[in-house]
Amino acid sequence: MLVDEKTVVDSLRRVIDPDLKTDIVSLGMVKELKVEDGKVQFTLELTTPACPYNKDIEDSARKAVQSIPGVKEVDMKVTARVWSARTLGAGDSLSSVKNVIAVASGKGGVGKTTVAINLACSLARSGAKVGLVDADIYGPMIPKIVNIIQPPRIVANNKVEPARIMLGIKVMSLGLFVDENTAVIWRGPLVASAVRQLLTDAAWGDLDYLIVDLPPGTGDASLTLAQTIPLTGVVIVTTPQAAAAVIAAKALRMFRRLGIPIIGIVENMSYFVCSHCGAESRMFGNSVTEKMASELDAPLLGRIPLMPEVSTNYDKGVPIVVADPKSPASKALNEISRNIAARISILAHESKAKAEKM
């Protein structure tokens, strides 16, 4: 039986992206299709290398073509091109950055920086191009807890080439330019200016994801970020206690009022995992995060266990997802990064659909 391109395309239309609820042909994920003498060649371009359903989509696409009578061979190349969920305005200084993700919390001590760094590493391990901004002006921590492989330097047009850490991640932090023993005693306008410069004075180049680790609360840094560049969305980090959830909810509502999409909520220190027997203990009692997420109509992206190894590896300058990828904390963080990547693809798809209707 003679196989033609139309038959192959029709068969691939039966493959549905589980997140986007649309077939892969309509999504433009099928590229460079060639059919000759029963041999089918095409490229499957996924929406992100970190999607949790990538393997399912790959297998379904291959089976859909193999099931066509007359097909003798299937040569499917798999690539990924991250979709942008940002609405770029005129003169956007970060036009080469596809997605800017703020990581925020209502209060300190919930592990927001831990989530931000490991999210960056997890996305980079999947094959994405990633940058990381430490926007905590008063207490910049990132240069202290990751090994700097290449320091920042001045390049053309008085731009700064960001520092590099593992996995090729680009990093900007005030801690790279100020002595760690020097206290930053600045009022609001200077803080806002510093955050703006960390973002816009850096030569980021092409990035799929730029993670911005915000200071706790809803102050100058958060407002400056929201008003300086279009954001893809925000991830809110909290812990299981009711008090932490109340403050996290306030932060979420603030971003929502500013028109920033909510990517979801991450619960850190959800439970303690015994290193000897693997038993789980709820150190902070029953969690209220799921109830909060439901009330605020925000996705719960995942829960991260409390493990001493996270802290001890920080002291060595290596995030847990790199130091011990098979640990319970790493598995939770990797799942969260995949869920975030999937949410961003959904936001990008929804944004594109709205634009087409206008």
> Residues annotated as binding site for ATP?
106-113
Provide the pLDDT for residue 191. Answer: 78
Neighbours of 153 (CB within 10 A): 11
Provide the pLDDT for residue 312. Answer: 86
Tell me the pTM.
Answer: 0.91
Backbone CA torsion sign across 226, 231, 237, 242? positive
Tokens of 54: 């990538």
Domains of the chain: 5-80 (3.30.300.130), 100-338+351-357 (3.40.50.300)
- Give the start-end residues of each E strand in 184-341: 209-213, 233-238, 262-267, 272-273, 280-281, 300-303
Provide the pLDDT for residue 91. Answer: 63
Give the Cα separation of 104 and 116 in Å (integer): 9
pLDDT tens by residue, the chain, 358 residues: 688 999 999 999 999 999 999 999 999 999 999 999 999 999 999 999 998 889 999 999 999 999 999 999 999 999 999 999 987 765 677 889 999 999 999 888 899 999 999 999 999 999 999 999 998 877 788 888 899 999 999 998 889 999 999 999 999 998 888 777 666 666 667 877 888 889 989 999 999 999 999 988 777 777 888 877 889 999 999 999 999 999 999 999 999 999 999 999 999 999 987 777 877 888 888 889 999 999 999 999 999 999 888 888 878 889 999 999 999 999 999 999 999 999 999 999 988 877 766 6
> Residues annotated as binding site?
106-113
In order, the DSSP letters of 113-176 are: HHHHHHHHHHHHHTT--EEEEE--SSS--HHHHS--SB--EE-GGG-EEPEE-GGG-EEEEGGG
